[in-house]
Amino acid sequence: MTPAAPAYRRLSVEERRSQLLEAALSLFAHRVPEDVSLDDVAEAAGVSRPLVYRYFPGGKQQLYEAALRSAAEELHHCFDEPRDGPPLPRLARALDRYLSFVGRHDAGFSALLQGGSVVETSRTTAIVDGVRRAAAEHIYSHLGVSDPGPRLRMTVRMWITAVEAASLIWLDEDKQPPADELRDWLVDQFVAVLTVTAARDAQTAELVRGALAAET
């Protein structure tokens, strides 16, 4: 007797939406958003174009923003490290997850998180900026700072921008140096910029003498 074909399982609304977002993120990871059509997403997900429209009636713009939010949520979790142990090893583990995300999305990292796309809007810009602000808040928490002053805030935000820039250059350089070396260098950069700021800011100086003194 011929074995019966496996029963078709109807996906729930959330499962189908996740499937379409995963397909879109996979495409955006290798092509800029303006080069990805809804037909491409439908083909990658193994569904029809009308089904994609059913879940994203706003078309590619809505799909792109949803994909961006999905990527942003994953990046939020990168810096969501348990507050156990010294802060610098925690930062290193967060960077490991961040660089793993960058590596998986490869060429699409710029399109997903750095802008420069014709589908960029104030909403997509706000999503990206929200990732940066959330990362900064996690870092303040890891450092044990509840009320960072302007110089410390500027230093941390500048370092986050430097991490993004280094990640893009790392992709251009075929992911060289190895991710663990890049991670260690970025941690060293973090300590270095805090040390420079400490010469001009009492709050940062106290932080360097206290929370980071035993690790540097």
Contact 203, 147 (CB under 8 A): no
pLDDT number for residue 145: 92
pLDDT number for residue 2: 47
pLDDT number for residue 172: 86
> 24-36: per-residue pLDDT in tens?
877 876 777 778 8
Instruction: Read off the tokens for 56.
Output: 């994203």
Confidence band of 121 (pLDDT split at 50, 70, 90): low
Q: Residues near 150 by Cβ (< 8 Å), separated by ≥ 6?
A: none
Contact 64, 35 (CB under 8 A): no
User: pTM to 2 decimals?
Assistant: 0.77
